[in-house]
């Protein structure tokens, strides 16, 4: 039973059903979970909430618990509540996707896809644990989440890839797997790949590193450089991923190739087979690009993340060596030269947050001016379209002159991207 209680009544053993705030505004990786420590309660209290929804069937209630209630609920992918009859989701088709194409704004879609992403992350973690325990791979358990992500990249081509860079989690393995899935779907949609190929890309992205579960965590999570032996060990993971995936008759050959060949490189210097250029299947090349992009734009124990722009620049510079030159140009076009969420400097001395991309002019996105010279509160935060600027002398036209690494400014891009409805258009605003 769902019950609203005061935050002061929270106890270990309660099952959080709804915090009542956006997923991007709290520090937890899950939207619903069983409280297992006082530390979690402390973090919830720090969110400044007054009340909260709990599920007294999945966890204890405010009354003294019975012995039965103290038993933690079993975690199983099969425990999701069945939909009422007649409410089953419609099957995804090329036609239904075409009808969704570019129908939702980037900010509205970020809010919509955040919930799907969060659920998918929980499911992926459980999935990996089950495979580690030797349970069979069952793709039915992830197919509806995958369909939802595919729909999202059709509703808006920039939102899902922006979202995955807005929030960071401690559990790199699962986050990275879901992020690579999202980024591969984004690039796949940009390339107009057919639906079966998109599905293979999504599954391939999710499981490309599955084989790492069979490698010592000490090596996988080592914060420093690897020894030669450790490197040899880690380089077995594409083969181990493919071996695990082959145990399921639901997994296609294309997905297995994504896992086996995602570390192959255009010039032939990758592994495990040293394949070159078009010897590497397109889907494996896409997973390879998504893998590198997400790794470089994520914080690791041994280094801070690079900005999305800096990462694209580095990857573009490696075209013809590491990556297919055409495919890497498509990646830049697909995400934007300054992807949504980038923190940029303008020639006017102002700073801005990229809110949306202009498809026809990638170096002139729509930005939110968040640090104007002079009176910063005079006009409040405003969205400015770098394409639609009033006629001015060339030195007065706003343009981007630099990008900062995330974290350098003391702002939370997620807060600005989600509060966009309160911002005014700023086409008439002139630099001071």
Interaction of residue 209 with Fe ion, rule CB under 5 A = yes
Residue keyed to tokens 């084989």? 211
CB of 78 to Fe ion, least distance (A): 29
Tell me which H or E stretch contains 197.
helix 195-207
What are the tokens at 395?
A: 């030195």
CA-to-CA distance for 120 and 144, rounded, in angstroms? 10
Can you say whether the dihedral through the CA atoms of 307, 309, 314, 316 is positive or negative? Answer: positive
Closest CB to Fe ion among residues 148, 209: 209
Stretch that binds Fe ion, among 23-31, 208-216, 371-379, 423-431 (CB under 5 A): 208-216
CB of 206 to Fe ion, least distance (A): 12
Sole window of 202-210, 216-224, 245-253, 392-400 interacting with Fe ion (rule: CB under 5 A): 202-210
Asked if residue 356 binds Fe ion (CB under 5 A), the reply is no
The Cβ of residue 177 has, within 10 Å, a number of other Cβ atoms equal to 26
At residue 289, the 3 state secondary structure works out as helix
As measured in angstroms, the least distance from the Cβ of 238 to Fe ion is: 6
Give the shortest CB-209-to-Fe ion separation in angstroms: 5
**Shortest spacing between CB 264 and Fe ion, in angstroms:** 11
Please answer whether residues 110 and 166 qualify as being in contact, where contact means their C-beta atoms are separated by less than 8 angstroms: yes
Residue nearest to Fe ion (CB): 209
Give the residue with the Cβ less far from Fe ion, 58 or 263: 263
Question: Closer to Fe ion at the Cβ: 12 or 219?
Answer: 219
Helices and strands: H and E segment counts in the chain: 15, 10
Per CB under 5 A, the segment of 38-46, 77-85, 162-170, 205-213 that binds Fe ion is 205-213
**Cβ(189)–Cβ(153) under 8 Å?**
yes
Closest contact distance (angstroms) between CB of 113 and Fe ion is: 24
Stretch of residues binding Fe ion (CB under 5 A), selected from 25-33, 195-203, 206-214, 405-413: 206-214
* CB nearer Fe ion, residue 180 or residue 355: 180
Q: How crowded is the C-beta side of 185, counted as CA atoms within 13 Å?
A: 32
Tell me how many residues contact Fe ion (CB under 5 A): 1
Contacts of 257 (CB under 8 A, 6+ apart): 204, 281, 283, 284
Q: Which residues bind Fe ion (CB under 5 A)?
A: 209
């Amino acid at each position: 039973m769902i019950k609203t209680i005061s935050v002061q009544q929270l106890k270990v053993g309660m099952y959080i059903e709804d915090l009542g705030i956006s997923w991007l505004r709290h520090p937890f990786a899950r939207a619903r979970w069983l409280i297992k420590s006082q530390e979690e309660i402390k973090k919830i209290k720090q969110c400044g909430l007054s009340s909260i929804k709990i599920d007294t069937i999945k966890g204890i209630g405010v009354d003294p618990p019975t012995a039965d209630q103290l038993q933690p609920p079993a975690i199983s992918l099969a425990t999701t509540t069945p939909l009422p009859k007649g409410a089953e989701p419609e099957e995804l088709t090329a036609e239904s996707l075409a009808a969704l194409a570019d129908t939702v704004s980037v900010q509205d879609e970020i809010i919509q896809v955040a919930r799907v992403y969060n659920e998918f992350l929980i499911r992926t973690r459980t999935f990996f644990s089950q495979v580690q325990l030797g349970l069979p791979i069952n793709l039915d358990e992830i197919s509806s989440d995958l369909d939802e992500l595919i729909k999202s990249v059709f509703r808006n081509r920039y939102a899902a890839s922006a979202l995955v860079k807005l929030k960071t989690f401690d559990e790199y393995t699962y986050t990275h797997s879901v992020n690579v899935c999202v980024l591969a779907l984004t690039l796949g949609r940009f390339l107009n790949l057919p639906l079966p190929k998109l599905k293979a890309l999504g599954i391939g992205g999710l499981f490309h590193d599955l084989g790492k579960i069979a490698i010592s965590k000490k090596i996988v999570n080592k914060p420093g450089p690897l020894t030669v032996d450790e490197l040899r060990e880690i380089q077995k993971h594409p083969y181990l991923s493919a071996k695990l995936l082959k145990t399921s008759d639901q997994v296609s050959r294309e997905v297995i190739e994504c896992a086996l060949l995602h570390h192959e490189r255009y010039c032939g210097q990758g592994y495990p087979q040293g394949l070159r250029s078009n010897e590497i299947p397109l889907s494996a090349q896409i997973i390879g690009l998504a893998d590198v992009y997400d790794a470089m734009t994520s914080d690791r124990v041994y280094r801070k993340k690079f900005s999305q722009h800096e990462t694209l620049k580095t990857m573009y510079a490696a075209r013809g060596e590491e990556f297919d030159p055409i495919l890497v140009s498509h990646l830049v076009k697909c995400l934007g030269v300054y992807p949504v969420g980038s923190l940029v400097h303008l020639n006017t001395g102002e700073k801005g947050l990229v809110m949306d991309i202009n498809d026809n002019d990638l170096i002139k996105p729509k930005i939110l001016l968040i640090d104007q010279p002079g009176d910063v509160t005079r006009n409040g935060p405003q969205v400015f379209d770098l394409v639609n600027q009033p006629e001015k002398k060339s030195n007065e036209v706003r343009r981007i002159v630099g990008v900062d690494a995330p974290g350098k400014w003391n702002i939370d891009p997620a807060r600005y991207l989600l509060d966009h409805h309160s911002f005014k258009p700023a086409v008439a605003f002139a630099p001071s």
